[in-house]
Structure 1
Amino acid sequence: MPPSFGSRLYQLSRDCKTMTHLNQILAQIVHAGVSNHQSSVSALVAFSASSPAGDLHIASLLFAHMEDPGSFAYNSMIQGLVNAGFAEEALSFYTRMAMARGEGSRPDKFTFPFVVKACALLSAVGTGKGIHGRVLQLGLSLDPYVCSGLVCMYSEFSELSEARTLFDETPERDPVLWNSMIGGYAKCGLMEAARQLFEEMPCKNVGSYNAMMGGYVKLGRMDCAIKMFEEMPTRDIVSWNTMIGAHARSGSVGIAWELFGRAPERKVSTWGAIISGFAQSSQFDDALEALKRMLVEGARPNKAILVSALSSCSHLGALEQGIWIHGFVEKLGLMLDDTLGASLIDMYSKCGFLRGAKSVFEDMQNKGVCTWTSMIYGLAIHGHSHEALDLFTEMERLQIRPNNITFVSMLSACSHAGLVDRGHEIFSRMSQVYGMNPTIEHYTCMVDLLSRANQKKAARQLIGSMPIEPDVFVWGALLGGFSLHWRHMLMNEDLGKKLARLDPGDSGTYVLASNIYASTGQWNDAMRMRTMMTDLGVRKKPGCSFIEVDQIVHEFLAGGKVHPMSRKIYEMLDHIYREMKTEVPQFSQWVLEFNTRLCTNGYGERMNR
């Protein structure tokens, strides 16, 4: 082949913009001999791994066919893997790179910023410090680009003194390094230190303002964030997204949409900010409405947006809309990764369609911990406890490491099936096998398990041995499984006051104590709890429920009368109530017991008639 052909091929590879172009160029490379055009293959690896239009799987295949990958190809793979969230795989490539014999394959200043980012993502403190040592050996610690990566890593580890030492020892500090240090303080909530460094920064840029604004938003100091936003000389997409998302998360629907309308450009990330923000603030209807607007405007949602939409469907019980989103995922040809697959399973389970959840789970090729956990949880809430336990056993057999939520689901399954011994075994495995410290949620499940099994003494002993302060849900789980006689004895120990002290501003604690007093006939104490609520200005957030009819979700608030059919609904409820009082013996006592059971399991008041 003439030299000009190789040069032309290399230029085409560098200019590659689509997978179609890649396939055309690759056909020429294969025809000419891959070994003769390693630089062109390396350029295609870079496109496939790092470009939004690329494909990491294709990049891996191309890389595997390179006889002697250079640092450029290694760096491209590491960068692509880290940006896609595959931190462990990125570190594996770094290890291969460090062990490679070729002179052109050694790690350089473009390698380490992404390698230390992988360590930060994995919270791999020991590995990160080891790589820092390698940076020192290679004399790269003073490079601002490398130093910025290390500062970010130590900030993620909450080792800000180490991060500040690196910052102070770097003689040439570019804006990226300044912003990394400011961002480190902001992420850890040290806004005074961040502000001081911000004021000292000689040439502030949009990234500096964004770091400060993000820190204020994280701490809930919206007044400071808004002021910073208004003071910005120029704003980029991150600035707008930060403020739109912050207002959406705080439930300020109108302001979020107003800012959204003012944004000079709307990218997918902007839609993501408002949709995920609404979902996180329980504005589920607004989240789904925003998704509809996005589609009407011709924008294509990414996986993160679809996950937020599916979460909204789960909370609303909007099965029809969830099924439509599932169909849309298939229409887009999106592969179900661990997060998206888990969201679909969770949606189907919470909407009561367990068969749909099982179908998604069985069809998935690569199941991660989130997928397994969602399926276990779905089986547990539908009463299929033994099936959930079998799935957990299979998960362990495949060496998929469970997480905290997996264990909450498993303990819940044991509780509903009355499997005390198996529950103890799973609770012990958390710390003894997986090195996880039980959280308040795990203790709540164990107390609930023991209480339901009538093991009162063991339940109280477990609460007494807890290394963390029991909250209202722990006490609720204890009382929920006890008879009226035992509840009366416990409340005589003035457990009501103890509950109220747990969180004086939380209405749930007073409601729980009041209802338990009522269930034991201690009406004066029940009224005392309600009076304490009033005197302290604590207001109970009304409960709400959702019903989906023909893809329209109807919201009902406890005692609310805003629904257009409220009068007819209340008339029908009164009719049903009167019929039940006539037909069901001791109906009033049953209502009281049912109400108490709901409250002691953390669900709040459901029936107050």
Structure 2
Amino acid sequence: MRSLKPMKNLNFPSSLVKSSNTHFTNSTNLNHDPTLLYCISLTCFSRVFFVLDSTTTTNRGLEFADQMFDKLLKRNVISWTATISRLARTGGEKEAIGLFKSMLLHGERPNYVTFLSVIRAIGMMRSNHLSQEVHAFVIKMGFESEISVVTALLGLYSSHGIANALQLFNQIDKKDLILWSAMVAACSKNGQFSEAIENFRKMQCFGINNVSLVSVLPACAYLGALLLGKQIHGFSIKREFFSDTNLQNSLVDMYAKCGKLDASRIVFDGIPKKDLISWKIMIFGCSENRDPRQALAMFLNMRSHFEPDEITVRNALAACSQMKELSFGSGLHCYLLKSGFSIYVSVGTELLRMYADFSEVETSKVLFDELCHKDLIAWSVMISVYARAGHPDQALGIFKQMHLENEKPNEITLVSLLKACSSLGAQVHGKTIHAYVIRVEYSSNAFLTSSLIDFYCKLGRIREGRALFDKLFNKDLICWSSMINGYGMNGCGSEALETFSKMLEYEVKPNDAVFTSVLSACSHCGLVDEGWKWFYSMKEDYGISPTLLHYACIVDLLSRRGEIEEALKFIQKMPLKPDASIWGALLAGCRTTGSDIGVMELAAEHLFELNPHNTSYYVILSNLYAENGRWGDVERLRNLVKEKKLRKAAGCSMIETKW
């Protein structure tokens, strides 16, 4: 056997790692001296079973081991190992380790196959402490150079991080193909994708197998390394690895994550023996690439081959949310009730999220109340439902219930709460949340800090918002957008544009949301020239096509300046069909500037058509008629509202109370 360099910096118990005497590596002495083996076994492995012996389950495992020992007709290393191996393969990991201890206590020296089975059992138990202990015992027994044992240990360590696995790998002088493949898999499993690809390139002189290909493809997927993924695809076809279903599944996943859904579908369709994983990957890939219709079609097709599992059902529900068609979601909900999936907390939470996306507040509340066990996600979703639906007081009420249940909020929960506080103007509650953010050290979370900036700016406390912004070391796009929008809503147009210019200096590429904040700031502050400049710059300099929100900002900008005719011409030339925000901005501008009543009526007619149940438009037009002395039209509008049985939303006042 090859000798290894001594391991350094691995946190092994020193009493187990240091050599005791020459008998440890002398198999002849061990075989002829069971008493010595017994002493060594107790010295080296007693700590391994210290935790195990303290549990009832393990005591049963040791009793089971004794029973198994009594039944063995031929008690040698082969029979011991065969029994341990069978237990490790069939979920009896604690019984396997208990039998291994009995084997040592009965003076039988394990071989490397025995260790492979024991390592497998420890891997199923996910115990980092036992991983280190068995490694130390492997060294004591002289199997540290057995390449199959080292490979198994590397896989064991990779379940607890990459550091020890990498150190063990680097200690091996002569690596074989299987060990290289294990290292690539370990890197991918621990999110070290660049290292996985680098090791894959280094191992090519040793050969390539299907395991290494399957292990490196997730790294290609997460890094967006499409070219390397294509090369692996071609190589797999050339070397006849392509018939392996696991490899084909990995290729489907790689193409989908790289945004090549058509290629992903071609590979999927070519899989002769699709398993459940094949369907799950394809459904998730469609949803991830914003093709919910195809995702649901895949889900329906899958049911003729396999019964969906919990994860697949959740992906299908997410696809229903993306497709924005409630009927599909309701139909799927009925299927889940019939098939019993609704008992799963994760499925119930995903259903809750789906109805929340459709703004079905009452249905969401019913589902929330029916959940037997409400996890953090369920509480967060329900708070978000109320905050987004314009019921901030109820959002805070749910948070109070959550607090009484001793459920701690996370960053997502706090973002929804801050939105509710902003809507209510609940300054005390918002500052309490801010204090909590500092106490639990969430201040470095850029998304949460952006919500705090937005909260303070909506209360007119622009200085506090700016202080939070300046403290951020790494400012992301959302933070910049929040600060620009905060300045804009407080009438600080110059500061908003200055902040935007700073963002560009830091080479942060703006998106459509940032441009909405910039144009809104120009609109609020009457910066016409700057507004036109950045509106045209969107497409010309940044390749961003203006949306209805951007057009609405320009209409608002022109209307506020009294340029109603120009605003109307701009609307008529729009490549998109105007929505309520466009006509609403024009109507508001007409009211402010006292413009031509004909333009007002045109805007109002479009608004009545687009949103017939919104009484505020009728009120605005009625007031405009009254200001122009057209009392007959005022009476006509009142009668129209009565005929349609519309009711004006009642006004309300709010005061902030303590929690």
State the TM-score, normalized to the length of structure 2: 0.64
Quote how far apart the aligned CAs of 1:467 are: 0.8
1-structure distance, mates of 2:296, 2:586 = 43
- 1:427–1:302 Cα change, 3 Å: same
Q: Which of 300, 306, 309 is residue 205 of structure 1 equivalent to?
A: 309
Against the structure 1 CA distance between its residues 44 and 423, is the aligned structure 2 distance closer, same or farther, given a 3 Å change threshold? Answer: farther
The within-5 A match list for 1:571-586 is none
Correspondence for 2:556? 448
Shift of 1:442: 0.9
Residues 467 and 247 of structure 1: CA distance in aligned 2, closer, same or farther (over 3 Å): closer
AA matched with 1:189? R
Instruction: Report the Cα offset of residue 167 of structure 1.
Output: 2.6
1:178 aligns with 2:279: yes
Distance 1:241 1:323 in 2: 29
| Rounded Cα–Cα distance in structure 1 between residues aligned with 2:309 and 2:577 | 45
Asked if residue 487 in structure 1 is aligned to residue 606 in structure 2, the reply is no
Shift of 1:372: 0.9
Is 1:268 the counterpart of 2:373? The answer is no
- C-alpha distance in 2, partners of 1:246/1:223? 10
Q: Does 1:366 align with 2:474?
A: yes
> 2:215 matched to which residue of 1?
110
Looking at structure 2, the residues matched to 298 and 392 of structure 1 have their Cα atoms a distance apart, in angstroms, of: 42
Q: 1:544 to 1:153 in 2, by over 3 A?
A: farther
Which residue of the other structure, out of 302, 317, 331, is the alignment partner of 1:224?
A: 331
C-alpha contact (below 8 Å) 1:185/1:193 kept by paired residues: no
1:423/1:257 CA distance change after superposition, 3 Å? closer
Kept after mapping to 2: 8 A contact 1:310/1:347 = yes
Q: What do you get for the CA RMSD once the two structures are aligned?
A: 4.7
What is residue 656 of structure 2 aligned with on the other side?
549
Output aligned runs, 1:89-104, within 5 Å: none
What does residue 340 of structure 1 align with?
A: 448
Once the two structures are superposed, what CA deviation does each residue of 1:45-79 show, in whole Å capped at 9, x if it has no partner? 87468xxxxxxxx99x99xx999997777766766
Q: Please tell me the residue identity of whatever aligns with 2:233.
A: V
Distance 1:204 1:252 in 2: 26
CA contact (8 A) 1:411 1:446 kept: yes
Distance across 2 between alignment mates of 1:383 and 1:343:
20
**How do 1:41-440 and structure 2 match up within 5 A?**
47=160, 108-113=213-218, 115-116=220-221, 131-132=229-230, 134-139=232-237, 144=245, 147-148=248-249, 163-182=264-283, 188-189=292-293, 193-194=297-298, 196-216=300-320, 219-221=325-327, 223-234=330-341, 235-246=343-354, 256=364, 259-260=367-368, 262-440=370-548
Aligned-pair CA distance for 1:143: 5.3
Report the counterpart of residue 591 of structure 1 in structure 2.
Answer: none
Kindly state the Cα deviation for residue 194 of structure 1 after the two structures are TM-superposed. Answer: 4.5
* Partner residue in 2 for 1:560: none
CA contact (8 A) 2:356 2:364 kept: yes
TM-fit CA distance, 1:323: 1.0
Deviation at 1:309, TM superposition (A): 1.5
Residues 531, 399 of structure 1: alpha-carbon distance in 2 compared, 3 angstrom cutoff: farther
CA contact (8 A) 1:518 1:526 kept: yes
Report how far residue 142 of structure 1 moved.
Answer: 5.6
The offset of 1:231, in angstroms, is 1.4
Taking the aligned partners of 1:70 and 1:298, their CA distance within structure 2 comes to 47
Cα deviation, residue 340, structure 1: 1.1
SS of the aligned residue for 2:221 comes to: helix
Do 1:167 and 1:181's aligned partners in 2 also have CA atoms closer than 8 Å?
A: yes
Distance 1:159 1:511 in 2: 51
Maintained 8 Å contact 1:307/1:340? yes
Residues 60-103 of structure 1, C-alpha deviations (whole Å, 9 max, x = no match): x99xx99999777776676666xxxxxxxx88778767776876
Residue 307 of structure 1 aligns with an amino acid whose one-letter code is V
Structure 1 position 428, deviation (Å)? 1.7
* 1:326-358 deviations in Å (ceiling 9; x for gaps): 111111122422211111111111133222212
Post-superposition shift, 1:322?
A: 1.2
The structure whose Rg is larger is 2
1:42/1:442 CA distance change after superposition, 3 Å: farther
Q: CA shift at 1:433, angstroms?
A: 1.4
2:508 aligned partner, one-letter code: I
8 A Cα contact 2:279 2:298, kept in partner:
no
Native 8 Å contact 1:476 1:512 kept in 2? no
Amino acid at match of 2:401: R
Q: In structure 1, how many angstroms separate the alpha carbons of the residues matched to 2:550 and 2:629?
A: 31
Contact 2:183–2:199 (CA<8 Å) still a contact in 1?
no
Q: Cα distance, 1:175 vs. partner?
A: 1.4
C-alpha displacement at 1:8, in angstroms?
7.4
Cα distance in 2, alignment partners of residues 431 and 228 from structure 1: 45
Q: What is the CA–CA distance in structure 1 between the aligned matches of 2:472 and 2:354, rounded to whole Å?
A: 34
- Partner SS state of residue 400, structure 1: coil
- Tell me if structure 1 keeps the 8 A contact 2:292–2:320: no
Residues 1:128 and 1:456: Cα distance change in structure 2 (over 3 Å)? farther
Q: Is the deviation greater in 152-161 or in 335-344? A: 152-161
SS at the partner of 2:654? strand
Q: 1:73 to 1:430 in 2, by over 3 A?
A: farther
Distance 1:158 1:96, change over 3 A: closer
- After superposition, what is the alpha-carbon deviation per residue over 1:95-151, rounded to whole angstroms, capped at 9, x for unaligned? 7677768769997323434643665xxxxxxx7587456434444766555655665
Identical-pair percentage: 26
CA distance in 1 between partners of 2:181 and 2:626 (Å): 72
Taking the aligned partners of 1:518 and 1:148, their CA distance within structure 2 comes to 69
Q: In 2, are the aligned partners of 1:306 and 1:325 still within 8 Å (CA)?
A: yes
Letter of the aligned partner of 1:448 in structure 2? D
| Contact 1:454–1:481 (Cα < 8 Å) also in 2 | yes
State whether residues 385 and 417 of structure 1, in contact with CA within 8 Å, keep that contact through their aligned partners in structure 2. yes
8 Å Cα contact 2:4-2:171 kept in structure 1: no
C-alpha distance 114-204 of structure 1, shift in aligned 2 (>3 A): same
- Tell me the CA shift for residue 459 of structure 1: 2.4
Q: Deviations over 1:513-542 (max 9, x none)?
A: 4454444444444554555555456x4562
* C-alpha distance in structure 2 between counterparts of 1:146 and 1:519, whole Å: 74
Instruction: Go from structure 1 to structure 2 and tell me whether the alpha carbon gap of 1:117 and 1:501 turns closer, same or farther (over 3 Å shift).
Output: farther
User: Retained in 1: the 8 A contact 2:353–2:381?
Assistant: yes
Structure 1: where are the runs of 5+ without partners?
26-36, 50-57, 82-89, 120-126, 553-609
Maintained 8 Å contact 2:526/2:560: yes
Work out the CA distance in 2 between the residues paired with 1:519 and 1:337: 51
